């Protein structure tokens, strides 16, 4: 595998020097897409939020800024991502508003019915079975809680499909596939939006 392939494969589980470079790029490179996704949330006043697949921690920081009365629990499979997310959100961690922990979304070590909002930016491509993982998200949300998914790929664009063939374990999903998996997990009020000029998708679902 060439250097480029090695680098882009770090999106799955950042490790080592290339992983550090990838995480730095994620925080800046995905910012516009993540903020676009965040704009789809209704007016809510969450007290507890979990950001799943938190990467370098930038999006957890945005959630902390947007919802000044909320606490955020950020979770990532990668030990290096956890380290970087802690660095990025050190002030909020010190004040008791943010926790960053290593974890597997298919078996979340989070309390049931705890969270008002769960977010997943550029991460479900690597989740081991959407229905199983979405069921875990459903479990940790309070009734009436929201789940926001935001992806750069809508599952049909050439770039997304190209990376799917390069990165081991990556699967790009269409909005329809995501919606069906959310319904299977028990979610309702599923709304999908496509960006006007890019293959970005935002999917918002609610726990009844």
Which two structure tokens, joined as six digits, stand for 156? 């049909």
| pLDDT tens digits along 55-68 | 999 999 999 999 99
Q: How many CA atoms lie within 13 A of 12 on its CB side?
A: 17
pLDDT at residue number 168:
81
| pLDDT tens digits along 117-141 | 999 999 999 999 999 999 999 999 9
Torsion of Cα atoms, 55 then 101 then 40 then 138, to 10°: 130
Determine the average pLDDT of the residues in 112-118.
Answer: 98
Determine the average pLDDT of the residues in 28-44.
Answer: 90
Nearest to 133 by CA among 147, 152, 145, 151: 147
pLDDT at residue number 164:
85
Strand, helix or coil for residue 152: coil
pTM: 0.89
Give domain limits for the chain: 3-24+44-145+156-171
pLDDT band at 15 (very low <50, low <70, confident <90, very high): low
Determine the average pLDDT of the residues in 78-89.
Answer: 94
CATH number of the structural domain 3-24+44-145+156-171: 3.40.50.150
| pLDDT tens digits along 87-111 | 999 999 999 999 999 999 999 999 9
H or E segment to which residue 6 belongs: helix 3-8
Q: Say how far apart CA 131 and CA 186 lie, in whole Å.
A: 10
Whether 72 shows a pLDDT value over 60: the answer reads: yes
């Amino acid at each position: 595998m060439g250097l480029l392939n090695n680098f882009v494969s770090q999106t799955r589980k950042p490790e080592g020097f290339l992983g550090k470079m990838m995480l730095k790029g994620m925080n800046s490179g995905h910012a516009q897409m993540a903020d676009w996704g965040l704009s789809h949330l209704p007016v809510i006043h969450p007290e507890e939020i979990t950001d799943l697949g938190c990467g370098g921690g930038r999006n957890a920081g945005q959630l902390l800024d947007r919802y000044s009365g909320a606490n955020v629990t950020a979770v990532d499979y990668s030990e290096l991502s956890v380290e970087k997310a802690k660095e990025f959100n050190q002030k909020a961690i010190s004040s008791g508003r943010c926790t960053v922990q290593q974890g597997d979304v298919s078996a979340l070590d989070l309390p049931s019915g705890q969270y008002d909002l769960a977010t997943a930016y550029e991460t479900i491509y690597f989740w081991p079975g959407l229905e199983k993982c979405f069921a875990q998200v459903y479990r940790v949300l309070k009734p009436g809680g929201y789940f926001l998914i935001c992806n750069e790929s809508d599952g049909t664009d050439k770039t997304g499909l190209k990376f799917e063939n390069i990165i081991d374990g990556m699967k790009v999903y269409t909005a329809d596939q995501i919606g069906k998996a959310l319904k299977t997990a028990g979610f309702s009020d599923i709304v999908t939006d496509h960006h006007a000029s890019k293959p970005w998708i935002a999917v918002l679902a609610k726990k009844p």
